């Protein structure tokens, strides 16, 4: 149906601010009406009917026509089917919102696990940027889900902490005298409402724990990715250092060739064996220097061995020997004390 806003809040005996569409989450009671705001879903509950306002999501039509009508009529699987109408309406909306949050988590979880499995592979020498982009988007969606769960839990917890607010949500108890008498005789509607809200608070807490586990898994995977990248970077740096040391060794003994390449005459260039001798000395000396540098590098880069912890000495002596040793020690101490007494 379509109605003007002024006619609607006058008919419901509400203020204009109560029907204002706000993208937030709250459950309030005013003038024997319950106003529920679940972000894009806004509802007004009375003891006789449930009014859904300004629904702009096309996915709500299936829920309104096929699921909500059966739940309010008591044909669904709601626990509050034997309680007054407002209990069924509140539970139907809370169940719909929890199912939406659960669906978002079920969509994100396999995508995040698949992306992390592809990124943490130790065989990969580089990280796929497309996978990182997907992980970034999923991380943002997970943060939004955690925020929605936190706001949902805070909204319900705010009501659970105040007994007066729980009493105000039991509309039929105050409008129908028969229901009030039944409530006074043994059926506590406030307690039933508290149990209902606690049930959905616990479901939201379970979803928040699952989302928190995914967040911890993402953080741990990021640490593993950074460790793998650091390991590959260290390998490249070590290879670069080895090549630098090799170049230094060749340059050091290449000075001999530079000395012989000068335009200075000596008696050595007339001997045909000097070329091979000098060349051999250059390569042999460069190789020895390079090996010494590599061994020096290995000693300083390898992790130190853990300190040796000596094993505890086992007492294998029999009891008699222990007793004899104690008695000897006592005799020695007594003898020392007696010998020192006259000296003193």
Structure token pair of residue 35: 């106003």
Residue 297 lies in a domain: no
Residue 91 lies in a domain: yes
Counting the structural domains of the chain, the total is 1
The percentage of the chain sitting over the pLDDT mark of 70, rounded to a whole number, equals 72
The answer to whether 75 touches 92, Cβ cutoff 8 Å, is no
> Measuring CA to CA, how many Å separate 132 from each of 30, 108, 227?
49, 15, 16
Q: Which pLDDT score is estimated for 340?
A: 39
Q: Which pLDDT score is estimated for 9?
A: 77
Q: Which pLDDT score is estimated for 19?
A: 75
Structure token pair of residue 72: 């309010």
Residue 45 lies in a domain: yes
Phi, psi torsion values for 195, nearest 5 degrees: -65, -40
**pLDDT-based confidence at residue 339 (cuts at 50, 70, 90):** very low
**CATH classification at residue 156:** 1.20.58.340
The answer to whether 253 touches 220, Cβ cutoff 8 Å, is no
Residue 332 lies in a domain: no
Residue 215 lies in a domain: yes
Residue 204 lies in a domain: yes
**Residue bearing the bigger pLDDT, 21 or 197:** 197
Of 162, 170, 161, 172, which is closest to residue 190 (Cα–Cα)? 170
Tell me the three state secondary structure of residue 45: strand
Q: Which domain holds residue 49?
A: 5-233
Query: In this predicted model, what pLDDT tens digit does every residue of 26-68 receive, in sequence order?
Result: 888 888 888 888 888 888 888 888 888 866 665 677 788 778 8
Q: Which pLDDT score is estimated for 323?
A: 43
Of 98, 238, 76, 78, which is closest to residue 156 (Cα–Cα)? 98
Phi, psi torsion values for 309, nearest 5 degrees: -100, 115
Phi, psi torsion values for 124, nearest 5 degrees: -80, 130
Across the range 250-274, mean pLDDT stands at: 71
Please state the separation of Cα 69 from the chain's center in Å: 39
Question: b/e string for 269-285 if b means 16 or more Cβ within 10 A?
Answer: eeeeeeeeebeeebeeb
Across the range 231-249, mean pLDDT stands at: 78
Residue 115 lies in a domain: yes
**Residue bearing the bigger pLDDT, 129 or 288:** 288
- Of the candidate ranges 156-160, 206-210, 257-261, 302-306, the one whose mean pLDDT is the lowest: 302-306
Phi, psi torsion values for 28, nearest 5 degrees: -130, 160
Query: What is the crossing angle of helices 85-119 and 129-160, to 10°?
Result: 150
Tell me the three state secondary structure of residue 96: helix
Average pLDDT value for the chain:
76
- Of the candidate ranges 89-103, 113-127, 191-205, 276-290, the one whose mean pLDDT is the lowest: 113-127
Question: In the predicted model, is pLDDT for residue 269 greater than 60?
Answer: yes
CB-based burial of residue 166 (10 Å sphere; 0-12 exposed, 13-18 middle, 19+ buried)?
buried
Question: In the predicted model, is pLDDT for residue 113 greater than 80?
Answer: yes
Q: Which pLDDT score is estimated for 204?
A: 94
The pTM for the full model equals 0.65
Residue 304 lies in a domain: no
> Measuring CA to CA, how many Å separate 246 from each of 242, 283, 289?
6, 11, 8
Q: Which pLDDT score is estimated for 245?
A: 77
């Amino acid at each position: 149906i379509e109605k003007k806003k002024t006619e609607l809040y006058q008919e419901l005996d509400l203020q204009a601010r109560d029907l204002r569409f706000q993208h937030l989450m709250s459950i309030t009671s005013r003038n024997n009406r319950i106003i529920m705001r679940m972000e894009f879903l806004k509802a007004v509950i009375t003891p006789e009917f449930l009014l859904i306002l300004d629904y702009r999501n096309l996915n709500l039509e299936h829920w309104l026509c096929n699921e909500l009508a059966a739940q309010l009529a008591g044909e669904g699987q709601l626990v509050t089917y034997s309680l007054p109408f407002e209990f069924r309406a509140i539970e139907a909306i809370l169940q719909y919102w929890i199912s939406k949050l659960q669906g978002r988590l079920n969509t994100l979880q396999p995508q995040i696990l698949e992306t992390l499995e592809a990124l943490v592979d130790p065989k990969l020498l580089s990280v796929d940027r497309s996978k990182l982009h997907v992980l970034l988007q999923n991380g943002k969606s997970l943060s939004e889900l955690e925020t929605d769960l936190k706001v949902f839990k805070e909204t319900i917890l705010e009501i659970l902490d105040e007994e007066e607010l729980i009493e105000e949500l039991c509309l039929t108890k105050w409008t129908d005298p028969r229901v009030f008498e039944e409530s006074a005789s043994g059926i506590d509607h406030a307690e039933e409402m508290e149990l209902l809200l606690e049930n959905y608070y616990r479901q939201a807490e379970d979803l928040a724990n699952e989302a928190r586990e995914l967040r911890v898994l993402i953080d741990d995977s990021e640490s593993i990715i950074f460790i793998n990248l650091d390991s590959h970077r260290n390998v490249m740096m070590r290879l670069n250092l080895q090549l630098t040391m090799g170049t230094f060794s060749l340059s050091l003994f290449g000075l001999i060739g530079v000395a012989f390449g000068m335009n200075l005459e000596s008696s050595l260039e007339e001997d045909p064996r000097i070329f091979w001798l000098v060349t051999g000395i250059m390569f042999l000396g460069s190789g020895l220097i390079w090996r010494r540098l590599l061994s020096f590098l290995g000693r300083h880069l390898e992790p130190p061995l853990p300190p040796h912890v000596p094993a505890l000495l086992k007492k294998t002596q029999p009891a008699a020997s222990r007793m004899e040793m104690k008695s000897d020690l006592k005799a020695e101490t007594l003898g020392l004390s007696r010998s020192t007494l006259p000296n003193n």
